[in-house]
Structure 1
Amino acid sequence: MNNEEMVKEFEKFAIKIRIETIKEVAELGFGHLGGAMSIVDTLAVLYGGVMKIDSKNPKWEERDWLVCSKGHAGPAIYASLAMKGYFPMEQLKTLNKPGTKLPSHCDRNLTTGIDMTTGSLGQGSSAAVGIALGHKLDKKDNYTYLVLGDGEIQEGQVWEAVSCAAQQKLDNLITFVDYNKQQLDGYLKDINDMGDIKAKFESFNWHAQEIDGSSVKEIYEAIQKAKEAKGKPSVIVLDTVKGAGCCFAEGILNNHHMTVSMEQAEEAIAILEKKLVELEGGAE
Structure 2
Amino acid sequence: MTKTAIEFKGIITYPITPFNNTGDIDVPKLEQLIEQLICTGSNAIAPLGSTGESAYLNDDEWTLVASTCVNKIDKRVPVIVGISELTTQNAIKRAKIAEEVGADAIMVLPASYWKLSDDEIFQHYVSIAKAVNLPVMIYNNPATSGIDMSPELIVSMFKSISNVTMVKESSGDIQRMHKIRLLSNNELPFYNGCNPLALEAFAAGATGWCTAAPNLISSWPHKLYEAFQAEDITLARELFYLQLPILEFILKGGLPSTIKAGLKNNGFDVGDPRKPVFPLSLPQVNKLNILLKELASAES
TM-score, with structure 1 as normaliser: 0.38
Q: Judging by fraction of residues, say which structure has more helix.
A: 2
TM-score, with structure 2 as normaliser: 0.36
Q: Relative contact order: is structure 1 or structure 2 higher (C-alpha 8 Å, sep ≥ 6)?
A: 1
